[in-house]
Chain A
Amino acid sequence: MTGTRTIYVPRDAAARALGADAVAATLANNPDVTLVRNGSRGMIWLEPLVEVQDGDGPRMAYGPATAADIPAILDGTSDKALGPTDDLPSMKRQTRLTFQRVGVIDPLCLRDYEAHGGLVGLRRALAMSGTEIVTEVTDSGLRGRGGAGFPTGIKWNTVAGAEATQKYIICNADEGDSGTFADRMLMEGDPFTLIEGMIIAGLAVGATRGYVYLRSEYPDAIEAMQEAVEIARTSGLLGDVLGSGRLFDMEIRIGAGAYVCGEETSLLNSLEGKRGVVRAKPPLPALEGFLGKPTVVNNVISLATVPVILEKGAAHYRDFGLGRSRGTIPLQIAGNVRQGGLFETAFGLTLGEIVEDIAGGTATGRPVKAVQVGGPLGAYFPLSKFDTPFGYEEFDGQGGLIGHAGVVVFDETADMLGMARFAMEFCAVESCGKCTPCRIGAVRGVETIDRIGRGDAAAIPLLTDLCETMKDGSLCALGGFTPFPVMSALTHFPDDFAKAKEAAE
């Protein structure tokens, strides 16, 4: 063999959950190869996806690999061979901007990061004024990827315009929505991108301190981010930023298992050390946020997209997309699917293309019944709505939301009354208790759905009415959006709510 041989075995939590550590262990003491624990390429159905690279040659993919496959992979006779990774159909169809380095580089090697375009955006930003950076981000059309879809540049502009002794950049990494894992994959696979994005945000608005509020359910992401921040600090990326005289430092803070802390105001309370109770708005966090100071609160993906916008320019990013949804979106394809994982692409694919084509239908082989888009607060879409294009306004127009772009597929065995009940139960468990429609409404919702389940059709209008109250009267999206899954299940799958009645009769 000529030159060096590098073997990539992902350290991504999904790959580890499928046995990547056992695969890596067989290579750890092999003197003939250099082992790199990269992020995941996103094709979770192929994980653990092992890549072999000789010298500067193409990376050859093998998967799903087990420890037993390694000898054959090393001598080139493995039946798990998939060809060059970059030529895999799923890779070729993607437009990877935010995730351009995830799965490619060693996540904790700053040199590798720079060799793949890292810090280009930050170096450009350091030569710009804050206003120019804000304008660039505004012009890119980037909207909050956490779910609300608020234009990132406009939020930054508010914070930039506020007068204060201290401002903050807070990254919302409390990715609690079922079916979403883009934040996790990015933090585990390319943590410096998030750090770079936060520094650029700090330069843009005049903030010198940042926090990542990271959920405790992500032990692997916590480890990666903490290590990355340490490396960034010792190598002069954090602190005096690249020796520019501009200051920015940041810290990783761990959540404590409360879903509602993904809501920005309850996240701020939690970060301050209080109960994670929602705050009424106004005041906006942009003006009175963390410790009462002007604060940018952005999702991981929003912040991690900023470096590529600065690297390639606002126009490059804006040219992708559909309508008012500009750029790319990392779709997370999950649940009962043949090919689950992360697929970054321009906005605009239809839901049907995503489910049938990219996800390849269900894992069980049974017909698709429903698709929940946007997490536990997102609507269940029936087959009849599969022509809906993936975009903020387009999904809103169909009574749904794209949220954090999780797409969870259910086959025909799904019991939609059960799913509606679960939505209410989840809301009851996770409600912060601040507002009555959510705190009490969710409990009554479970009871009312149980009545319907026992065959009491008179409870159906009651449930509809309750959902209206929760939607209109709740302080935040938890109580306000729980009606989406409940009402969509009731509206599109009425048979599941009538079956129980027939059984009772």
Chain B
Amino acid sequence: MHSAQAPADLSAQVAAICAAHLGREGPMLPILHDVQHAFGHVPEAALPVIALALNVTTAEVHGVVSFYHDFRDAPAGRHVVKICRAEACQAMGANDLADAAKARLGVDWHGTTTDGSVTLEPVYCLGLCACGPAALVDGVVVGRVDKARLDAILEEAGA
């Protein structure tokens, strides 16, 4: 282990998270969710700590982290705006809405504005298919998002 030497406090915190889940069947995802919740992302330095706790290789932990869209390797912006790209929302104009969001924020999907205020993510279905286009703003669902509503959301997010 050379590159990802964990600072002692991070190590201790991640080890404590691991310890809380060790009795469970298949503890990896619950651990990763908690690590991301604690740090806002899954720091590279956390991987060897998790690997040690679960008795797997760091490469295996990396493989799991990188497989899932939810886990970030760097912190997101202060606000995360997810816009649904799936078919039902497309039938109600989600593509134009996404283009408007990208243009206003000056980022593409997964991008964060230069001032760090907003990260824009695609999401494939929020189950709000009868009131699309739909969005998830910092974990809160929003339906029938038109351009005016989008502007208000981004305004409030400080972008």
Q: List residues of A whose CB falls within 8 A of some B CB.
A: 13-14, 16-18, 44-45, 47, 175-181, 183-185, 209, 216-221, 251, 253-259, 270-277, 290-291, 332-337, 340-342, 363, 372, 376, 406, 408-411, 414, 419, 422, 426, 429-430, 432
Q: Write out the residue numbers on chain B whose beta carbons fall within 8 Å of the beta carbon of A336.
A: 91-92
Distance (whole angstroms) from the CB of B147 to the closest CB of chain A: 16
B127 near A340 with CB under 8 A, answer no
Name the A residues within 8 Å of B125 (CB-CB).
175-180, 217
Task: Kindly report which residue of chain A lies nearest to residue B84, judged by CB atoms.
Answer: A178
CA distance A419 to B95 in the complex (A): 11
Determine the residue in chain B with the shortest Cβ distance to A409.
B91
- Can you offer 18 A-B residue contacts whose CB atoms are under 8 A? A14-B131, A17-B143, A18-B143, A45-B130, A176-B124, A178-B89, A180-B129, A218-B127, A253-B29, A255-B29, A255-B68, A257-B123, A270-B29, A273-B29, A335-B87, A335-B129, A376-B86, A430-B124
Determine whether the beta carbon of A340 is less than 8 Å from that of B130.
Answer: yes
For the complex of A and B, the 7 pairs showing the least CB-CB separation, nearest first, are A273-B28, A340-B130, A178-B86, A17-B143, A334-B129, A256-B68, A335-B91
17 extra A-B contacts, CB within 8 A, seeds A181-B127, A181-B129: A14-B128, A14-B141, A17-B143, A175-B125, A178-B124, A180-B125, A217-B125, A217-B127, A219-B141, A221-B127, A253-B30, A254-B33, A256-B32, A256-B68, A272-B25, A277-B67, A411-B91
Cβ of A217: which chain B residues have Cβ within 8 Å of it? 123-127, 136
Supposing A178-B88, A254-B29, A273-B28 touch, asked if A17 and B142 sit within 8 A by C-beta, the answer is yes
Closest Cβ–Cβ distance, residue B61 to chain A (whole Å): 9
Q: Closest Cβ of chain B: how far from A340's Cβ, in Å?
A: 3
Indicate whether B113 reaches chain A with its CB closer than 8 angstroms. Answer: no
CB neighbours (8 Å) of A340 from chain B are 129-131
Number of chain B interface residues as a range: 35 or more
Write the chain B residue with the least CB distance to A363: B92
From residue B26, how far is it (CB to closest CB) to chain A in Å?
A: 4
Contacting pair B67 A179 (CB below 8 A): no
The answer for the CA separation of A170 and B114 in the assembled complex, in Å, is 43
Are B64 and A180 touching (Cβ within 8 A)?
no
Given contacts A178-B125, A256-B69, A257-B69, whether A291 and B25 have CB atoms under 8 Å apart is yes
Tell me if B134 is interfacial: C-beta within 8 Å of chain A.
yes
Also in contact, A216 and B70, with CB within 8 A (given A254-B33, A256-B33, A273-B27): yes
Residues of B contacting A337 in the complex (Cβ-Cβ under 8 angstroms) = 130
Q: Which residues of B (19-42) have their CB < 8 Å from a CB of A?
A: 24-30, 32-33
> Are A18 and B131 in contact, CB atoms less than 8 angstroms apart?
yes
Q: A13-B127, A175-B127, A217-B126 are in contact. Are A372 and B87 (CB under 8 A)?
A: yes
In the complex, A335→B24 CA distance in Å?
40
Q: Could you tell me the distance between the alpha carbons of A332 and B125 in the complex, rounded to whole angstroms?
A: 13
Assess whether B139 is interfacial by the CB under 8 Å rule.
yes
Q: Is the CB of B26 within 8 A of A271?
A: yes
- Counting CB contacts under 8 A, is B144 at the interface? yes
Q: By the criterion CB–CB under 8 Å, are A334 and B28 in contact?
A: no
Task: Compute how far the CA of A135 lies from the CA of B63 in the bound complex, rounded to whole angstroms.
Answer: 43
Interchain CA distance A198-B79 in the complex, whole Å: 37
State whether A275 touches B67 (Cβ < 8 A). yes
Report chain B residues within 8 Å CB of A256: 29, 32-33, 68-71
Contact of A184 with B32 in the complex, beta carbons under 8 Å: no
Min Cβ gap B133→A in Å is 11
CA gap between A119 and B57 in the complex, in Å: 46
Asked if B68 contacts A276 (CB within 8 A), the reply is: yes
Within 8 A of A (CB), among B29-84: 29-30, 32-33, 54, 63-64, 67-71
Q: CA separation between A179 and B128, bound complex, in Å? A: 8
